[in-house]
Structure 1
Amino acid sequence: MAIHKPKDNSFKLILDDHRLFVDFLLRFIPLPIFNALSPDDIEDVSERFLPLLLENRDSDTVKRISLKNNPPLFVIAIVEHESQVNFRAPFKMLQYITLVLDKYEKEVNREHPGLTSTRDFRYPPVLPLIFYDGPAPWTAARNFADRTALKEIFGDYIPSFNYELVELNKYGFEDLSRYQDALSLLLLVDRIQKREELEELKGLPGDYWE
């Protein structure tokens, strides 16, 4: 028997709580630059990108992260929890990335007119992230170039980037429960698709719940 989950799933709670989001980055995207990250370094800037968020305001998020002595990092987080894989994901990410960089360029030029036209200006990095908790395996292309025809011929002229994919069903109950924290519990609850998995959650040892 399938268990139907509300649209606001557990990952939205993680995105909305920056303490949990820091834990998530450290656990699933363990880049050394995140080791010194704190919740105060993160700003939710989703409201600045309403033109693309109108369709999925409940499941798409943009974060601006201050990195010590570095340009900011933007994280585009898309939650996919439908039963069918979204094969438009690479193109949707390309739309977001260009929108984020365009917005950043305009902000910089307002504060420092003409700066983005100088030789030394660099655009900030953007980390595209998809969190998928649907029942079917994620089979969409991970690189935008793989969704473009004749890439073997025109590859040098096609945008090429990968998005980070966290596919929840690839992590078993043992993988998620060993951390014994709030992030672990939220992901375990989100992972439940069938009644027998709910029983497995109930069967976690007492020290986990403590």
Structure 2
Amino acid sequence: MTTQQHDLGYRALFAHPEMVRELVTGFTAFKLFDGVALSAFERVNADYVSERPSARQGDVVWRVRVGDHVLDVVILLEFQSGVDRCMALRMQTYVGLLCQDLVERHQLSPELLLPPVLPLVFYNGVPAWSAPKELAELLTAPPAELAALQPSQRYALIDQWRLDRAALDANDDLLALLFRIELSRFPRWKARRKARRKN
């Protein structure tokens, strides 16, 4: 399976709200979406065209209505098969274009405010993820008087190969089962599981 086919497979998988909810609640530290009804998840356009002729495409975007106060939170899910050193910069671009798209579509809150965004990178490559998760790490240190004016962006990371093996085996959710099946095809995963069982 090529990298492009693999990424398309994940896009198809996470086109379902139950899979997105399982991913965030089961494989990140964020508890915001625990117990949120699937009906609160709404798929959002993931093609953002800037003012220039070129276009940037995110992978999967969901808007979720959370809590009694109906707070909208946008999940921006990016799939990576390789390490991209400039991922924080790319994510800043995606978030900016997403927000611009929401403004142009008049999809803001009643107070005309943009929703909070959860930028999430799902990485399934074998080498450990080594790219900075914060944009500031890609920038030259500015003079003190300019520091507060520099761009800022962070993203959350799910590194599939480095998920906790015991926790994954103990998880009965469908997504955890799919991850175990996928990873079991690779000799390194099998060797690690055997070594853990012997200890």
Q: Deviations over 1:107-152 (max 9, x none)?
A: 338x99xx7xxxx543210110001111111111111111111246
8 Å CA contact 2:65–2:72 kept in 1: the answer is yes
Partner of 1:204: none
User: Residues of 2 paired with 1:37 and 1:152: CA distance?
Assistant: 44
Q: How many residues align?
A: 186
2:117 matches 1:129: no
Q: 1:36: how far off?
A: 3.1
Equivalent position SS for 2:152: coil
Alignment of 1:75-90 (within 5 A): 75-82=75-82, 85-90=83-88
Q: 1:13: how far off?
A: 4.6
Q: Provide TM-score, normalisation by structure 2.
A: 0.78
Equivalent position SS for 1:20: helix
Q: Larger deviation: 121-130 or 171-180?
A: 171-180
Tell me: higher relative CO, structure 1 or 2? Use CA pairs within 8 A at least 6 residues apart. 1
2:155 matches 1:163: yes
After superposition, the Cα gap between the structure-2 partners of 1:152 and 1:15, relative to the gap in structure 1 and judged at 3 Å, is: farther
Gaps of 5+ in 2: 50-54, 194-199
Alignment of 1:96-111 (within 5 A): 96-108=94-106
Q: Provide TM-score, normalisation by structure 1.
A: 0.74
8 Å CA contact 1:177–1:188 kept in 2: the answer is yes
8 Å CA contact 1:44–1:63 kept in 2: the answer is yes
User: Residues of 2 paired with 1:11 and 1:77: CA distance?
Assistant: 10
Equivalent position SS for 1:142: coil
Equivalent position SS for 1:49: strand
8 Å CA contact 2:122–2:158 kept in 1: the answer is yes
The answer to which structure has the higher helix fraction is: 1
8 Å CA contact 2:75–2:118 kept in 1: the answer is yes
The answer to which structure has the higher strand fraction is: 2
User: Residues of 2 paired with 1:135 and 1:29: CA distance?
Assistant: 19
User: Residues of 2 paired with 1:91 and 1:14: CA distance?
Assistant: 26
Q: 1:48: how far off?
A: 4.3
Q: Identity of paired residues, percent?
A: 18
User: Residues of 1 paired with 2:12 and 2:178: CA distance?
Assistant: 8
Q: Larger deviation: 192-201 or 125-134?
A: 192-201
Gaps of 5+ in 1: 202-210
